Structures are given as C-alpha cells and as structure tokens.
C-alpha cells in the first residue's frame, strides 16, 4: 500500500486536477526574492508549475514514485502544506480542500482497479492523453476502452 500511495502522489505532482488555484489577495506588503508585493495585490498560484520546479524536485519530468517513499514516518510527505509547500494539488494550509482525504482514497481505489482488470482500447480508437483545461483538467478526448477481469490474478 505505501507504493500505491506514492504512485498517487507522483501522479498528482505531475498532473494536478487543476493547473491553478483561485487568486488570493495579499493583506500586507510582502518581500519575495527581492520583489516587493504591494498590499491588496492579487496572487495566482500555478499548481502545475510547482510540481515541475527543478529547484524543488530532482528530475521533475521523470515519473518516479520512489521520491515519496520514506523509511522514517517523521519525514512523511506533507500534501496540505503544514511543514512546507512542495506541491498543492488540493490547495494548502487553511484553504485546503475539505475532502482531499476522500479524493486520495478514491484515487487509490481507482488505481488499484487497474490491476484487477484488463484494459484494451476500442478498435480504431487510440488512447489520447492530451489535456483540456476547464475548471479542472480533463482528457481532451474521452477514454474508450474494453474492460474485463484479469485471468492471471495472484491470490
């Protein structure tokens, strides 16, 4: 199960459900990397770009779930930003999505379902993973697949 959770987190890092969050307004003047952000200035958080930042992630374009595996539980990855913000697919801090734990649970069930079933594309339809930006990111062309139970399941 820890590796399944790591695969989910790596997928959320590479492809968050939304590419940006609602803009926030600065309540006081802030200095950030030698820039002064004035009071009442709107700030946009580009969530998708945070997950691909080479200053934060080693080889950010590689799909590597091992980066989320930890031997010591005290160094477990913080997805809601209480310790530090490296990615925020569900927001962060006090504005985090209240159902992010339910979303993670559903993602685990969905990914685990791939192991129990054999997925094949419908004849004539190739799987297209290109994205379409709406309120959340969706597939540009819906997935059409034949699904059947796997015959060689390990018990």
Annotated binding site: 97
Binding-site residues for heme: 97
φ, ψ for residue 146 (rounded to 5)? -95, 130
Q: Which helix (H) or strand (E) holds 24?
A: strand 24-25
Residues 8 and 105: their CA atoms lie apart, in Å, by 10
Q: What is the DSSP letter of 64?
A: -
């Amino acid at each position: 199960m820890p590796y399944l959770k790591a695969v989910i987190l790596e997928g959320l890092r590479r492809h968050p459900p939304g590419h940006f969050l609602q803009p926030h307004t600065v309540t006081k003047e802030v200095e950030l990397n030698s820039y002064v952000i004035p009071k009442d200035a709107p700030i946009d958080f580009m969530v998708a770009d945070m997950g691909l930042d080479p200053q934060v992630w080693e080889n950010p374009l590689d799909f590597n779930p091992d980066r989320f595996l930890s031997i010591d539980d005290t160094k477990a990855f913080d997805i809601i930003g209480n310790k530090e913000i490296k990615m925020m697919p569900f927001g962060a801090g006090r504005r985090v999505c209240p159902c992010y734990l339910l979303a993670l649970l559903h993602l685990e069930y969905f990914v685990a379902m791939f192991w129990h079933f054999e997925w094949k594309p419908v004849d004539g339809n190739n799987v297209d993973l290109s994205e379409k930006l709406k309120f959340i990111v969706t597939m540009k062309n819906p997935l059409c697949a034949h699904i059947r139970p796997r015959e060689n399941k390990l018990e």
